[in-house]
Amino acid sequence: MGGLIDNMPLTATVIVCFMLFAWVVSLVLRDASVADIFWGPGFVCVAAAAYLASDRPAPRAALALFVTALWGLRLALHIYVRNRGKGEDFRYRTMRRRHGARFWIVSLFTVFLFQGLIMGVVSLPVQIAAAAVQPSGITLQDMAGAAIALAGLAIEAVADWHLFKFKSREQNRGRPLESGLWRYSQHPNYFGESLVWIGLFVIALQEPGGAISAASPILILFLLLKVSGIPLLKKEFEARPAYRDYMLRTSVFIPLPPKKRLNS
């Protein structure tokens, strides 16, 4: 717990400065969607700050930094490629219309600093594990946590890539993706995301006070299942006839064998 408490002023400062920089970039580009691109690298900066603040970081700290860097940089690249040339995301366009000329300052608090606050909670396993100074080697629990996190990263990356390629074909417009991982879950990318943070929590749990980092996967699951993930997409897709059968047959979150087609 001492490492977390000692590093909290540093990691909090890193998060605030990073999100302020992202906000300035959004003003220059007039595109608040950059918040999504900056999300992953923000965690990498937090992990790196916690790691570098330790005089003699343990292999566990390096492992946490490595997993976080893989996840964060992959996510940033994916979102950049996915959003390139498409303009500002509809969520931020809606906010911009609502707040009008005040959006530039409103976005600082409602988008960037608010995401920074969430980042501070979600990154707790990273902050704790990346500050570790003991033991001198990797434990079985470290390996188990890393395996869970890397499996989640692989699931998320494959699902994102498959969906990106599917949506890039004009003939698929308005159709649900029903192959690959998407055959077994409506949101395999979100499932993979949750595994990443569960795995990092498993690693951090070995550190003093590591149990507090359970707030990270709990918050991620709450946001994905109840707030900004699945509920928003469900509202968008349930009105489309082509998606109704798919949604009834396919597990919402955890990958499971699909049910038989309703019209068969």
At residue 12's C-alpha, the angle toward residues 9 and 13, to 5°, is: 85
pLDDT reading at 3 higher than 70 = no
pLDDT at 47: 95
Structure confidence by residue, pLDDT tens digits, 154-211: 999 999 999 999 999 988 888 889 999 999 999 999 999 999 999 999 999 999 889 9
Q: Quick one: CA dihedral 112, 117, 119, 120, positive or negative?
A: positive
pLDDT at 1: 58
Q: What φ, ψ does residue 183 adopt, rounded to 5°?
A: -70, -25
Tokens of 223: 């946001």
pTM value is 0.92
pLDDT at 55: 82
